[in-house]
Chain A
Amino acid sequence: KAGVTQTPRYLIKTRGQQVTLSCSPISGHRSVSWYQQTPGQGLQFLFEYFSETQRNKGNFPGRFSGRQFSNSRSEMNVSTLELGDSALYLCASSLLSGSRYTEAFFGQGTRLTVV
C-alpha cells in the first residue's frame, strides 16, 4: 500500500512569488492535513480538509490556502512568499477524522527555500 506522496521534494522560490505544493494521501484516506515545520517553531498545524471541505485552520495568514479534490488529493498554495516561509511542509493523511482513534501518516515533505 503506497504511503503519502508529496511533490515536489524540494523547491527554491524568490520572495514575492507564489508556490503550489501537492499531496496524494494513502488510498482510501479522506482527511488531509498540512503542517509547517521550522527549527524555531517546530511543527505547526496549517489546515485540514475532509471530503473537499476545509474543516479546521491554524493560525497562519491568508497567504496560505489549500484545497482538496474529489479523489482526496490536496494542494497547498502560498502567495507572496516571504523569507520566513522557508520550511519543511508536511502533509498527513488519516482514514478517520474527529475520532480519538484517528492516526496521521505523514509524507516525506516538501522543502521550500525562499531566497
Chain B
Amino acid sequence: TQLLEQSPQFLSIQEGENLTVYCNSSSVFSSLQWYRQEPGEGPVLLVTVVTGGEVKKLKRLTFQFGDARKDSSLHITAAQPGDTGLYLCAGYKAAGNKLTFGGGTRVLVKP
C-alpha cells in the first residue's frame, strides 16, 4: 500500500498544453520533495516545500503544499518536450529521517 498516492500514473500531452500532477496522503509530512527522473538515471531534486500552503515557482513549474501538509501538486504551464520524464513526489518525516515516495507520474510531451 502506497502511503503517497500520485495521480495520474501517466500523462501524454501536446507541446504547449498545461498539466497537473497530484500527490496525496493521509499522513502529515515534515516536508515534501518533488523529483524528476530520466530512464536509467537517479532522481533529480526539483523543489522542497516545507510550510503548509506554500507555493513555489520554478520557471514554468508551480508546486503547492497543502495546508495540512498531507498533499501537494505540481503544475506545468506550456509544457515542452524537455519536460518529459518521471515525476516523483516524496514525503519526508524528520523523526525517521526517510523519504516515502509516491508511485510516480510518467509525463510525455509530444512536439
Contacts and interface: CB of A to CB of B under 8 A. Distances in A.
Interface of A: 4, 6, 31, 33, 35, 42-45, 48, 50, 55-56, 58, 88, 90, 92, 97-109, 111
A39 to B, nearest CB: 10
Interface SS of chain A: strand
B88 interface: yes
B44 interface: yes
B96 A104 contact: no
Interface of B: 2, 30-31, 33, 35, 40-45, 48, 50, 88, 90, 92, 94-104
Given A42-B104, A90-B43, A101 B31 contact: yes
A104 B104 CA distance: 17
A55 B97 contact: yes
A35 B33 CA distance: 15
Contacts of A31: 97
Contact of A56 (B42, B45, B48, B96): B96
B97 A102 contact: yes
A101 B2 CA distance: 23
B44 A45 contact: no
Given A90-B43, A98-B94, A109-B42, A104 B101 contact: no
B36 to A, nearest CB: 11
A28 to B, nearest CB: 17
A97 B30 CA distance: 12
A47 B61 CA distance: 31
Given A103-B33, A104-B33, A109-B41, A43 B98 contact: no
A111 B40 contact: yes
Nearest to B92: A102
B54 to A, nearest CB: 12
A100 B98 contact: no
A90 B42 contact: yes
